Chains A and B, each alone.
Chain A
Amino acid sequence: MKPRFLLPHSFKKVGWIVLIPSIAFGIFVQHFEYTISGFELTPFFSESSLMVAGESLKNNLTNELAGVLVLISACLVAFSKEKAEDERVSQVRLESLQWSVYLNYALLLIAILFIYNEAFFYVMIYNMFTILIFFIIRFNFVLNIKDRIFHKAETA
């Protein structure tokens, strides 16, 4: 199966450079309710619909910025070609996608059953990104790290 609909390899480095700080930024924004002062936009809908789970998000766009940065950079990392694409890389990519969807929904199921109210709001926010994150972790682990750990990589 030849890889289709993948970005050129050059996008991957850009993706990583943006992704790591974006994740840190996102977690920071989420837990410390950090906002960039004055970074606001006139709301398109009424004030009342902006009160979510008891937290007033008002119309500050800092969390939106964090979300967009993480989402786009994670897509860049996940969906750009490897330096050397061959059939095994395609197979690992497909397996990793399946694995990450399974893992994501298994964790979500557990979260739905055991986490409630305001805490679940955080679950929902992280769940938006975990499919991609799990995929990125597993894909790169299998391709680059797994064999080195188990001393299977031969240099000859």
Chain B
Amino acid sequence: MKNRIRIERAVVDITQETLARKVNVSRQTINAIEAGKYVPSTVLALKIANTFGKTVEEIFSLEDADWK
């Protein structure tokens, strides 16, 4: 699964730490999501998208590998 979190963060110029606090997770979790090492739960994905004022599909997208 790909995500645009790093890009969106740069757009609004906030750190991983700030985003983490907003959605109530640790900074390591945000880092792991950005690095593609962790897939967030639906609720967390919704919260992240909501923080950027976007929909989930605008931030997260499926890859072919996800269908296996």
Contacts and interface: CB of A to CB of B under 8 A. Distances in A.
Interface of A: 84, 86-89, 91, 143, 147, 152-154, 156
Nearest to B44: A87
A88 B35 contact: no
B31 A86 contact: no
B26 interface: yes
Interface residues of B, number: 16
B29 A87 contact: yes
A99 B26 CA distance: 23
Contacts of B38: 88, 91
A153 B31 contact: yes
A153 B37 CA distance: 12
Interface of B: 15-16, 24-26, 28-29, 31-32, 34-35, 37-38, 40-41, 44
A138 to B, nearest CB: 16
B29 to A, nearest CB: 4
Contacts of A87: 25, 29, 40-41, 44
B20 to A, nearest CB: 9
A147 B32 CA distance: 9
Point out which of B24, B26, B34, B38 has the most chain A C-beta atoms below 10 A from its C-beta.
B26
A154 B31 contact: yes
What 6 pairs between A and B have smallest CB-CB spacing?
A86-B25, A88-B29, A84-B26, A88-B38, A87-B41, A86-B26
